[in-house]
Amino acid sequence: MKRTTVKLPDDLDARLRLEAARRKLTISELTREAIETHLGAPKGGRRRHLLGTAAGNSGYTDTSKRVDQILAEIVEEKLRSRS
């Protein structure tokens, strides 16, 4: 397997790390999966992971208690991305 260095903006790096942690994957595993999804898996190559695997498994046990805070953060992020 080859090692590749990729430069990412800070916000994309943070999103990558959060998603990897949420899905309990390494940064490398998630990056390979994203590249395979974008480029298409090679014929006869590895099976692709289902994108919905572990969806809803955030690793947090207090999500229902923090729902208002979580929704506020999502709305805030959406508003920032539109600016």
Q: Quick check: is 2 in a domain?
A: no
Q: Quick check: is 46 in a domain?
A: yes
pLDDT at 11: 92
CA distance 25 to 27: 7
Low-confidence ranges of the chain (pLDDT < 50): none
pLDDT at 28: 93
Angle of helix 27-39 relative to helix 10-22, nearest 10 degrees? Answer: 100
SS3 56: coil
Q: Quick check: is 68 in a domain?
A: yes
CA distance 74 to 68: 10
What is the domain extent for residue 23? 10-82
pTM (two decimals): 0.50
The count of structural domains within the chain is: 1
Percent of the chain with pLDDT over 70: 77
Q: Quick check: is 4 in a domain?
A: no
SS3 57: coil
